[in-house]
Amino acid sequence: MQSVIKASKYFTAFLTVMFFVSGCASTGNSNSRLNSLNTQLNEIVSDNECTASFQCKVLEVGARACGGPSKYIVYSTLKTKQEDAEAIANNISAIEKEQNSSLAECLPVIPVQSLCLAKQCQIIDIQ
């Protein structure tokens, strides 16, 4: 009987370790994917050339645990396809929603506007 109890304890310990290890692996994969998507987004929105302010767009990116985006980016539709930027931003938001587990990161993220100034889309803080 004691050998069964001992085996049961070892099996429970094994399952606990496997649970935590598998959680770490999936978090690592999510973080890797998130980093890759953020790099892609930064690359496609890096050229903010514009000729008029209507070409400058603000995009909400990510998801905070307490609601709202984790950041805003400004890009130019003259150089970036809106659908491409939105698709990547939506993927980033989905991963961040999965990762949100606490309200620890709920500092305010101030909304921004964009304008074409000196032929570049620029962030204008709303205050």
Q: Tens digit of pLDDT for each residue in 63-89?
A: 988 888 999 999 999 999 999 999 999
Tokens representing 85?
């930027």
Range from 12-21, 29-38, 42-51, 78-87 carrying the lowest mean pLDDT: 12-21
Position 48 scores a pLDDT of 95
Is 53 within 8 Å of 114 (Cβ atoms)? yes
Query: Measuring CA to CA, how many Å separate 8 from each of 3, 5, 12, 20, 30?
Result: 8, 5, 6, 19, 33
Domain of residue 16, residue span: 2-125
pTM of the model: 0.71
Task: Tell me 55's DSSP state.
Answer: G
Position 104 scores a pLDDT of 59
CA 103 to chain centroid = 16
Domain count, the chain: 1
Does residue 21 carry a pLDDT above 90? no
Q: Is 75 exposed, middle or buried (0-12, 13-18, 19+ CB in 10 A)?
A: buried
Q: Is 37 exposed, middle or buried (0-12, 13-18, 19+ CB in 10 A)?
A: buried
